Amino acid sequence: MAGSRLDPIDRKILAELQADGRMTNVELAKRVGISAPPCLRRVRTLEEAGYIRGYHAKVDARELGFEVQVFAMVGLQSQAEADLSKFEQRCRDWPLVRECHMLNGEVDFILKCVAPDLSTFQTFLTEQLTAAENVASVKTSLVIRGAKDEPGVPFDVLEERLARSA
């Protein structure tokens, strides 16, 4: 299991930073029970190893005027690796697409999109997404409200699994 390569202090550092990435190194060290210099070294090592991919503010899209959130289920005509990669790159280039995930099953990709209004999303849908090369079908679902939006992973579940396997 990938998480088992980390010791309990590293996992605690990750859990604490996931909950609050703005805390100082001194506060983080206190929370995980080590002094500040080795804590900073561990954080840097976790960053270099790719366990920490960045630090972000969680902004409220609606407060910034992005009133529309849509999930778009996309089917492609070809699932050849080159075509999949080309579509993924296209998604990275579209500002309204905030997440892009390849799926197995009937749908090839699910996209999480945000837009200031329905008209803007509709223009994106008709002029860019459905018109894109290799796109065979698009089904959309407008988000009415969100009940949960937690980043990262549930560290308590990881710790339980590690305890059972020890």
Mean pLDDT of the chain: 95
Alpha helices in 94-148 (DSSP H): 118-124
If you average pLDDT over residues 65-93, what whole number do you get? 98
Q: Report pLDDT for 13.
A: 98
Fold of domain 2-57? Arc Repressor Mutant, subunit A (1.10.10)
Question: In this structure, are residues 26 and 36 in contact, taking their beta carbons and an 8 Å threshold?
Answer: yes
If you average pLDDT over residues 55-65, what whole number do you get? 93
pLDDT band at 1 (very low <50, low <70, confident <90, very high): very low
Fold of domain 68-142? Alpha-Beta Plaits (3.30.70)
- On the question of pLDDT at 133 being above 90, the answer is yes
If you average pLDDT over residues 26-38, what whole number do you get? 97
Q: What percent of the chain has pLDDT over 90?
A: 90
Residue 58 to residue 157: CA distance in whole angstroms: 23
Residue 111 tokens read as 């996209």
Residue 112 to residue 55: CA distance in whole angstroms: 20
HSE-up of 133 (CA within 13 Å, CB side)? 9
Residues in the chain: 166
- On the question of pLDDT at 32 being above 90, the answer is yes
Q: Report pLDDT for 5.
A: 85
The pLDDT tens digits for 147-159 are 999 989 999 999 9
The pLDDT tens digits for 115-126 are 999 999 999 999
* Domain extent listing, the chain: 2-57, 68-142
Q: Report pLDDT for 23.
A: 96
Q: Report pLDDT for 3.
A: 53
pLDDT band at 2 (very low <50, low <70, confident <90, very high): low
Q: Report pLDDT for 4.
A: 53
